[in-house]
Structure 1
Amino acid sequence: MTMTTEVCVVGGGPGGRALALALVRLGHEVVLLEQRSGGARAFRGESVSPDGVRILAGLDVLDRVRDDTHEVHRLEISDGGARVLDVRFETFPYAYRHPVELAQPVLLAALAEATAGHGGCTVLEPASAVGLLRDGGAVRGVRAKTPEGTMEIRAEVTVGADGRYSAVRRFSGLDHTARRTPLERDVVWLKLPFPDAWDRRAYRVRISSGRHGLFLPSTDGTLRVGLNIPKGGLRELRAGGLEQLHARLAELAPELRHEAADTIRSWSDTHLLDIFTTDVRRWSAPGVVLIGDAAHTLSPILGQGVNHALADAVALAPLLASALEAPRSARAAALGTAVAAFQQEREAPVRRSRGLQLRQERMFSLSAPPAAALRRTVYRALNASPALQRRVLAPAYFPGQQARADGGGTGTKTSTEQLT
């Protein structure tokens, strides 16, 4: 069976779904392939930055999910048992100031519902890309495996939105331009009951010597915990039994000792995330382009993966739309120009976020007493200076918004607003 469309999007995560929505809003046809039926995902990104909230508003999706979001007001870092940084998001001079927690299945369902309301998008689910169609050296679509058999989706442009282990990146040959950098830590994710004494509107980072953990509120009322362990250290941790895991948690958050012992009764109650970054030198080839984790895998620090996927989608959509409206004889060249402009627009924000993440990773991992003391001094200096907080955190949380002297405003006009 063969289908023909303008754009084939491989991957139904936030980036792929947002791109499909943005394109049909602009009047273009999309076929979207999603491998996982029902969108089931374990311990995937739920943190949406203020800039991600702005993007969802621009796509007319924010009102659909508003009742399912949990707004966050503070970022708190404690080191050696003492609070060294307490960031208040309401002090930032942007139109959209607060991050929100939003369960990814809810976000995906809202994006899918909004897309269906416009028409023009065919969703194949479950379906997985098993190869690319080529003609004259250019990608012309995807060969997909579905429950009904193998299909060919012929498209003028194919978008790889299929995550950190992207098949489209591999099939297209763009994998050869990728540089994967393992970080020094992996993360063991788990959920605990939320402590009654804790502020439910706060992100928490707890540091003890060279160990640290992330403590994030969930929309279901639980506490998501990301416990950092040395790279490849899960086997050693498991060898010590669950008691060792409980002890690691208690070292960082003694008030969670009883919750951990009562809740985490099996290793199946945890999930390991292998932490690495991937820097892909070329995000496109003739007829194909990568977005989100397929183009630039980031670490979970400051929750940037979902937000950059959304930003990629709304940056790429108007560029593709304009190119697809070019005369057929000039369309291939127009698409090449469009995807090159997309990478040029998005590389700098991704690079800034990656740099901030890597600096934080190094800071969190300092274990020698003099280095840990210096880390605490740096965080206290950041805590004492709102101007320094804006300088450090704005690239991660507010890259698409322009600060205003009166603390209000509507932000800069970006690709998102071109879609409305």
Structure 2
Amino acid sequence: MSERNTELDSEVCVIGGGPGGLMLALQLARRGNRVVVVEQSARYKRHFRGESISPDSVRLLDRLGLMNAIAARGEFARTNRFEISDGGAAALRVDFRDISPDGSLPTEIPQQVLLEVLAEEAARHPGFTLLRRHSVTGLLRSADGRITGARCTGPDGPLDIHADLTVGADGRFSSVLELSGLPFTRKPLGRDVLWFKVPLPDTWDDDTVRVRIDRDRHALMLPTHPRSLRVGLNIPKGGLKQVRAQGLPALHGQITAFAPELGPAVRTHITRWSDLSLLDIFTTSVPRWSRDGLVLIGDAAHTLSPILGQGVNHAIMDALALAPLVSDALTAPDRRQRLATALTRFQKLREPAVERTRRTQSAQERAFGLSSAPAVQARQRVYRLVNSQKWLKHWLWRRIYYTLPPRLSSP
């Protein structure tokens, strides 16, 4: 005889306890709603993932009263500067302190810290439930096709969660997207990224993001806490097998060619392939983010390139835009229709900003992929032109990092 599923009722079931899912749950719980978060991991050990928080999100976290809790842990690093070197020469330098309208700066926050703070704050509210070590195995449906919750499995066996709204916040490889029946297009980009962490070189300051470019190859170096460096080295799409065949000494040489200052640390700390993490680079476009009883947020709805570190920020923005719409709809007598209207409104609010970021990232992806000598020289001239025109440089970077719309300024 098969084991009978345990039942759980809630107003909202969020699949995925990442930044977007937990932020949404927190905001709903603060509004008095009942919300269950389904998270497959036992602890938030998410290395190399989503640590870059834009100034807009820093402002939002501060206004939500969460930055004090993050700062109390002391595990963050603020970024003052960003610089690009191309072909061994400095091409573009940006000082965020000259651009910020209110002093907010890009900040590196380990995702484990951010998620723990969100979960602890949400747990203060009686309507919040976090189910760790649970995975979604299916979606519940009514006779007319409406999504009515999620079927999960956890340490105690199967669990059916019934909810007015199910939210797919389960990231770039979203199971909810796959199960939902919503059409989507996944576009692989021309590179993957190898991530690793090493100590910050003694000769480097701890508040500058560095990008080193050599023709169609580049490396991204982000200072993080404590005096460490997250490094992302791009490799050809599907090229890990070839990189491994060449051996670790060859990889050490590639990294050292980009940044000689990292040579000793790389040889000392990158001694096994398990010291590296591969990020498969692709974008996902979902024309419609919702259907009756279900909505997608964050990477589940719009997977972006890692360029400019916008994934976490869009997930947070999604959550803050969606929460009041859903909470208001749940109080209405005709909540099914009100929820449908709210989900349509949510996509209309958020999609323009997502698409603007996607276009910016696509342009930068193309620039990083240039390999012919004339194209590389043109790229270098563009970078130097932007660097020489202060007004243009500030305008461009404000469009990337300081875009908080008035409707989200007071969550």
Both proteins in one fold, TM over 0.5: yes
Of 297, 312, 332, the residue aligned with 1:306 is: 312
CA contact 2:55–2:107 (8 Å) conserved in 1: yes
Q: Does 1:246 align with 2:252?
A: yes
Residue 270 of structure 1 corresponds to 276
Q: Does 1:162 align with 2:170?
A: yes
Give the letter for the 2:95 counterpart: R
1:65 maps to: 70
Q: Residue in 1 aligned with 2:129? A: 122
Please tell me the root mean square deviation across aligned C-alpha atoms, in Å: 1.2
Partner of 1:366: 370
Task: Tell me which residue corresponds to 2:3.
Answer: none
Percent identity over the alignment is: 50
Task: Measure, in 2, the Cα distance between the counterparts of 1:299 and 1:264.
Answer: 25
CA contact (8 A) 1:293 1:305 kept: yes
Instruction: Please state if 1:415 is matched with 2:408.
Output: yes
2:41 maps to 36
Instruction: Provide the residue aligned with 1:290 in structure 2.
Output: 296
**Aligned AA (1:337):** T
Indicate if the aligned counterparts of 2:195 and 2:233 stay in contact, CA closer than 8 A: yes
Q: Normalized against structure 1, the TM-score is what?
A: 0.94
Is residue 304–residue 396 contact of structure 1 (8 Å, CA) maintained in 2? Answer: no
Q: Deviations over 1:141-199 (max 9, x none)?
A: 1111011111111100000000111111111111xx21111111100001111101112
- Larger CA deviation: 273-282 vs 118-127: 118-127
Q: Name which of 333, 336, 358 aligns with 2:337.
A: 333
Q: Distance in 2 between matches of 1:173 and 1:394?
A: 37
Per-residue CA deviation, residues 210-242 of structure 1 (Å, 9 max, x unaligned), is 110000111132111100011111111111111
CA contact (8 A) 2:219 2:234 kept: yes
Give the match's secondary structure for 2:160.
Answer: strand
**Structure 1 residues 282 and 350, CA, compared in 2 at 3 Å: closer, same or farther?**
same
Report how far residue 340 of structure 1 moved. 0.5
CA distance in 2, matches of 1:120, 1:286: 23
* Residue type of the alignment partner of 2:82: L
Shift of 1:93: 4.4
Matching residue of 1:407 = none
Query: What SS is found at the alignment partner of 2:345?
Result: helix
Which amino acid in the other structure matches residue 148 of structure 1?
D
Name the SS of the counterpart of 2:57 in structure 1.
helix
1:15 touches 1:313 (CA, 8 Å); kept in 2? Answer: yes
Instruction: Describe the superposition over 1:291-326 as per-residue Cα deviations: whole angstroms up to 9, x where unpaired.
Output: 000000011111111111101000000110111111
2:126 is aligned with 1:144: no
Give the whole-Å Cα distance in 2 for the aligned partners of 1:389 and 1:138: 48
SS in 2 for 1:235: helix
1:416 is displaced (CA, Å) by: 5.5
The whole-number CA distance in structure 2 between the counterparts of 1:160 and 1:38 is 20
After TM superposition, give the deviation of residue 385 of structure 1 in Å: 2.1
Contact 1:77 1:205 in 2 (8 A): yes
Distance in 1 (CA, whole Å) between partners of 2:30 and 2:132 is 21
| Cα separation, 2, equivalents of 1:303 and 1:185 | 16
Question: 2:399: which partner in 1?
Answer: 395
Q: Which runs of 5+ in 1 are unaligned?
A: 402-411
**Corresponding residue of 2:140:** 133
Q: Are positions 1:84 and 2:91 aligned together?
A: yes
* Paired amino acid for 1:69: F
Please give the secondary structure, in 1, of the residue aligned with 2:309: coil
Q: Within 2, Cα distance between the matches of 1:123 and 1:172? A: 22
One-letter amino acid matched to 2:153: K
Distance of aligned partners of 1:178 and 1:391 in 2 relative to their CA distance in 1, 3 Å threshold: farther
- Partners in 2 of 1:18 and 1:278 — Cα distance? 22
**Residue type matched to 1:332 in 2?**
R
Q: Which amino acid aligns with 1:309?
A: A
Report 1:172-321 matches (<5 A): 172-174=180-182, 177-321=183-327
Between the aligned partners of 1:238 and 1:336, the Cα distance in structure 2 is: 49
Distance in 1 separating the partners of 2:269 and 2:299: 32
* TM-score (ref. length: structure 2): 0.96
Query: Is residue 352–residue 395 contact of structure 1 (8 Å, CA) maintained in 2?
Result: no
Aligned 8 A contact 1:315 1:416 in 2: no
Tell me if the contact between 2:77 and 2:109 (Cα under 8 Å) persists in the aligned partners.
yes
Match of 2:55 in 1: 50
Tell me, yes or no, if structure 1 residue 108 matches structure 2 residue 115.
Answer: yes
Q: Distance in 2 between matches of 1:139 and 1:344?
A: 21
Give runs of ≥4 in structure 1 deviating > 4 Å.
none
Q: Secondary structure at the match of 2:254?
A: helix
Distance 1:160 1:8 in 2: 9
Q: Write the distance in 2 (CA, Å) between the matches of 1:213 and 1:311.
A: 28
Per the alignment, in what secondary structure is the counterpart of residue 198 of structure 2? strand
Cα 1:244/1:281, change in 2 over 3 Å:
same
State whether residues 208 and 222 of structure 2, in contact with CA within 8 Å, keep that contact through their aligned partners in structure 1. yes
Quick one: which amino acid aligns to residue 278 of structure 2?
A: L
SS at match of 1:118: coil
Kept in 1, the 8 Å contact 2:216–2:370? The answer is yes
Task: Please identify, of 221-230 and 255-264, the stretch whose mean Cα deviation from structure 2 is larger.
Answer: 255-264
Post-superposition offset of 1:96: 4.9
Amino acid of the residue matched to residue 338 of structure 1? A
In structure 2, stretches of 5+ residues that fail to align are 1-5
Structure 2 distance, partners of 1:36, 1:138, is: 28
Query: How many angstroms apart in 2 are the aligned matches of 1:109 and 1:64?
Result: 10
2:323, 2:399 → 1: CA distance?
Answer: 22
For 2:345 and 2:397, how far apart are their aligned partners in 1? 26
Aligned-pair distance for 1:44? Answer: 0.8
**Structure-2 residue corresponding to 1:2:** 7
